[in-house]
């Protein structure tokens, strides 16, 4: 239960801070800015890895949990519990953001700025890179250690910085699912459920091929 609670709290914090930054940027006239939003996502993931990495591994992302399982580093029997905890944490976070800013229409949900295929390809590649980094620097199924938080948080901030304006740079199904459900904007949600999942799966053989 402590692992599931860690995943729930970690994912709650990720979605609350990340989508909260988007909403607050909107209602404050752009004070945070795109770079600030990208850094918020990177920094909150870094913080949660240092907070919960030793407990649950700080997956915070169903695609990451699935990637670890396919790579043989995480028991399949634990996947449903982790994913459910991540979904609950994310949805509660979006509920709190909605409660705080009831007039905001989209609550930080992700949408493609260009074509759907453009965002599918971007999300797939972004998540594959993220998962590859995670697999290469993690121990077993745990994102922990002195450098893990910096490297993973840095990759998330980097990818959000350059790809966010086009695809939203979700890289995480529940980060997109929660605000979409709470706001009722389910259009294009399939992109952010399918592409990050496929990207994480693609990273598994890439990580194995690059092993010494």
Q: What is the pLDDT of residues 40-92, one digit of tens each?
A: 999 999 999 999 988 998 999 999 999 999 999 999 999 999 999 999 999 99
Report the distance separating Cα 199 and Cα 183, nearest Å: 26
Strand partners, 142: 139
- The arithmetic mean of pLDDT across residues 6-11, rounded, is 97
Q: Which residue has the tokens 């304006």?
A: 165
Report the distance separating Cα 94 and Cα 89, nearest Å: 9
Compute φ and ψ for 88, nearest 5 degrees: -60, -45
Tell me the average pLDDT of the chain.
94
What pLDDT is attached to residue 32? 97
What pLDDT is attached to residue 132? 95
> When comparing pLDDT for 136 and 158, which is higher?
158
Report the distance separating Cα 122 and Cα 159, nearest Å: 10
What pLDDT is attached to residue 142? 67
Report the distance separating Cα 205 and Cα 70, nearest Å: 10
**Per-residue pLDDT at 16 exceeds 70:** yes
Q: Which residue has the tokens 């580093």?
A: 73
Check the CA dihedral 149-150-152-153 and report its sign.
positive
Q: Which are the contacts of 17, defined by CB distance < 8 A and separation ≥ 6?
A: 40, 41, 44
Whether this model's pTM surpasses 0.85: yes
**Per-residue pLDDT at 107 exceeds 80:** yes
């Amino acid at each position: 239960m402590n692992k599931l609670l860690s995943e729930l709290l970690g994912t709650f914090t990720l979605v609350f801070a990340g989508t909260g930054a988007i909403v607050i940027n909107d209602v404050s006239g752009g004070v945070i800015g795109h770079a600030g939003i990208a850094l918020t996502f990177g920094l909150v993931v870094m913080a949660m890895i240092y907070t919960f990495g030793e407990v649950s591994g700080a997956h915070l992302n169903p695609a990451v949990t699935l990637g670890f399982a396919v790579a043989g580093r995480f028991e399949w029997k634990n996947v449903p519990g982790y994913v459910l905890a991540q979904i609950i944490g994310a949805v509660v976070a979006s509920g709190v953001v909605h409660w705080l800013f009831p007039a905001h229409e989209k609550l930080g949900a992700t949408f493609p700025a260009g074509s759907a295929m453009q965002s599918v390809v971007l999300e797939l590649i972004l998540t594959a890179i993220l998962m590859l980094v995670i697999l290469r620097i993690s121990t077993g199924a745990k994102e922990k250690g002195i450098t893990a938080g910096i490297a993973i948080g840095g990759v998330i901030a980097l990818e959000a910085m350059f790809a966010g304006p086009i695809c939203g740079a979700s890289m995480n199904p529940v980060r997109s699912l929660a605000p979409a459900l709470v706001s009722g904007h389910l259009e294009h949600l399939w992109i952010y459920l399918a592409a990050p999942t496929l990207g994480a799966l693609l990273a598994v053989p890439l990580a194995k091929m690059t092993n010494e």
